């Protein structure tokens, strides 16, 4: 009897007591709506979101193109440095958001990780957290759209994340410093003192500086 060949994902999980569904494998090997390097300058995004830690490797970025007249999300592009489950989850999320002419923001905000997992045909329990990355990055991008369009009252902020563990400086403190005009690491440090107590966080501060500069000031 001829043995079935296992995929790379199945081989990687061998001995762990779980396998990925066919739908997960489809979205991992052929991800939908992934933002390619040459596309970023072409897409006219009016919502930009990021979640995760560049220092740890699990980072999710999402670009949205929202029709301001209907508030339907016409395009959702994404990038991540996460695992196979994170890639598949975000790929599926992008399909759910943009299918049938685009989902309205009001409905998109109600999407839960469980909804993504259901459309994927399930995920191993130890990988459920991966579906949360795209979900949170989507809400961050929608908040950015609300901010850009002056709908401040609709913003639903996520909890902040500590960057400098000694001085307890958060990513929101970095964001505020950029919004207050900081354009360099030195200016960020002058406003927040970040890195004076924990120098190991400086690479992440620089990454956040670039991200928030792009988010708020890129034309």
Q: How far is CA 198 from the centre of its chain?
A: 26
Instruction: Summarize pLDDT for 166-214 with one digit per residue, the tens.
Output: 888 888 889 888 988 899 999 999 999 999 888 999 998 998 898 888 8
Phi-psi region of 21 (alpha: psi -120 to 50; beta: other; left: phi over 0): beta
All domains of the chain in start order, with CATH:
19-157 (3.90.1010.10), 159-219 (1.10.10)
Report the DSSP beta bridge partners of residue 60. Answer: 51, 80
Q: Is the pTM of this model over 0.85?
A: no
Instruction: Summarize pLDDT for 156-165 with one digit per residue, the tens.
Output: 877 777 888 8
Please compute, for residue 108, the number of CA atoms within 13 A of its CA located in the half-sphere on the CB side. Answer: 30
Residues with catalytic roles = 56, 130
CB 164 within 8 A of CB 145: no
Lookup result for tokens 């599926």: 92
């Amino acid at each position: 009897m001829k043995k079935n060949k296992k995929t790379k994902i199945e081989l990687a999980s061998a001995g762990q007591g779980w396998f990925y569904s066919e739908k997960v494998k489809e979205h991992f090997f052929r991800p939908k709506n992934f933002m390619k390097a040459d596309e970023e300058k072409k897409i006219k995004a009016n919502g930009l979101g990021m979640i995760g830690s560049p220092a740890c490797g699990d980072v999710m970025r999402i670009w949205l193109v929202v029709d301001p007249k209907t508030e339907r999300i016409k395009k959702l592009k994404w990038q991540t440095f996460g695992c196979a489950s994170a890639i598949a989850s975000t790929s599926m999320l992008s399909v759910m958001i943009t299918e049938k002419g685009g989902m309205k923001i009001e409905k998109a905000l109600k999407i839960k990780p469980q909804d993504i997992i259901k459309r994927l045909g399930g995920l191993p329990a130890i990988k459920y957290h991966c579906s949360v990355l795209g979900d949170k990055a989507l809400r961050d991008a929608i908040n950015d759209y609300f901010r850009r369009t002056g709908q401040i009252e609709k913003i639903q902020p996520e909890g902040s994340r500590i960057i400098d563990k000694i001085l307890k400086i958060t990513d929101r403190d970095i964001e505020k410093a950029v919004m207050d005009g900081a354009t360099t690491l030195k200016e960020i440090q002058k406003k927040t003192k970040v890195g004076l107590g924990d120098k190991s966080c400086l690479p992440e501060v620089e990454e956040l500086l670039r991200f928030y500069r792009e988010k708020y000031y890129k034309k």
